[in-house]
Amino acid sequence: MYYHMQGGGGRAQQAFTMAEILLSLTIIGVVAAITLPSLTGNINERTWNTQRKALYARFSQAIALMPALNGYGDNSDNAAETFVTGGLSKVLKINNICDNEHLQDCGIVSKITTIGGVNFIVPVDMTTLNSYMTSSASDGYGGSTSMLNTKAAAFETQNGESILVYYNPRCIGSLKENPWMGGSGFYIQNKVCANFIYDLNGNKGPNTVGKDIGFMTAMYPSDVKIVAPVPANKYLDSTYGFRSAIKACSNYDSDYRVPNVEEDISMFVNKNLLQGNNITMDGKRFWSSEKISSGNIIQGLMISLGTYPGQVDDKSLNESLYVWCVKR
């Protein structure tokens, strides 16, 4: 650093050397390199969260306008496409519809990263989405739990989202039913009408579940319930009683809670999107946030991926089960 004295007794002027300027620029560059990815990530997270909520609102409004969600094509090869062309496109603004052979034309990528951090080939039919959905089992009421192994279809929205659709034209049931009160619970496979995997920015990155990619599930053909859970990065490591599970999610993060039973069902359907790196739902039973009264006994509802995959049943509040928290 040097000083230059002004003539006539003026004040000294201070200047920087070239080395000092370069050092300052280097420091600024290092700080920017450290902080910029975090700032960009935060901006992306907020953007995705806003887009996710808007997409869910549009879908909820559109599906509420449909007379029923079942019966759109019994042919397993084109049922999902028929559901989109003959039903969903009447109530939702859609730019482009793609059949099973041309999913990429609707911005669908071939691989995505699961919430567990592993690559997952985008499933082209219901069996590869979740083999439990098309495996046959008794539901305790004389019916079959299995869905048709329908092929996926896809479409693009006017807002630029790419949507994969898995469809069951024979879905049954209603929110007004309480089938778990029969003692053996019920299976969810034939309650699921449509499942959607969405990509908020088409084939742009990061193509990761929990970021730009998520899922929605519509259940019950007429008394429709659609949910779009946003799960935590993994389920909590320990098992909990019902009341402890409620506290465990809020202790994990104040923005998280125990999912309701339909959100648990949606996570079951899309279990392969959540697995990887020693994270698996298979063989476990998970609490929902809901309780029922059976006589004088209050019990919590859970969903099983154990001996009876897809079963929703009531359990003692003191029984120890897993919990996978979702964002509020």
Provide the domain count of the chain.
1
Q: Indicate whether 246 belongs to any domain.
A: yes
**Tens-place pLDDT, residues 193-228:** 999 999 999 888 899 999 999 999 999 998 899 999
Residue numbers of the domain that contains 192? 37-327
pLDDT of res. 142: 46
Confidence of residue 44 (pLDDT cuts 50, 70, 90): confident
Q: What is the pLDDT of residue 177?
A: 63
User: What pLDDT, in 10s, does the model give residues 262-308?
Assistant: 999 999 999 999 999 888 898 899 999 988 765 555 566 677 777 77
What pTM was estimated for this model as a whole?
0.84
Residue 21 lies in a domain: no
| 154: CB partners within 8 A, 6+ apart | 97, 98, 103, 106, 107, 108, 162, 163, 164, 165
Q: Which residue has the higher pLDDT, 309 or 137?
A: 309
**315, two tokens:** 């359990």
- With respect to residue 27, please indicate whether it lies within any of the assigned structural domains: no
**Which tens digits make up the pLDDT trace of 156-190?**
999 999 999 999 998 988 766 654 545 556 788 88
How far is it, in rounded angstroms, from Cα 324 to Cα 286?
7
Q: Is residue 206 part of a domain?
A: yes
Per-residue pLDDT, 137: 63
Q: Is the pLDDT of residue 2 over 50?
A: no
Q: Where do the DSSP E strands lie in the chain?
A: 2-5, 12-15, 94-98, 111-113, 119-121, 153-157, 162-167, 186-187, 192-199, 213-219, 225-227, 256-257, 285-294, 297-304, 311-316, 326-327
| Mean pLDDT for all residues in the chain | 85
Residue 10 lies in a domain: no
- 104, exposed or middle or buried, with CB in 10 Å at 0-12, 13-18, 19+? middle
DSSP character string of 90-153? GTS-EEEEE-GGGGGGGT--SEEE-TTS-EEEPPSBHHHH-GGGSS--B-SSS-B-PPP-PBPE
Contact 323, 235 (CB under 8 A): yes
pLDDT for position 238? 93
Determine the pLDDT at residue 3. 41
In a domain, residue 71? The reply is yes
Q: Give the pair of three-digit tokens for residue 130.
A: 């979740």
- Domain membership of residue 256 (yes or no) is yes
124 in a domain, yes or no?
yes
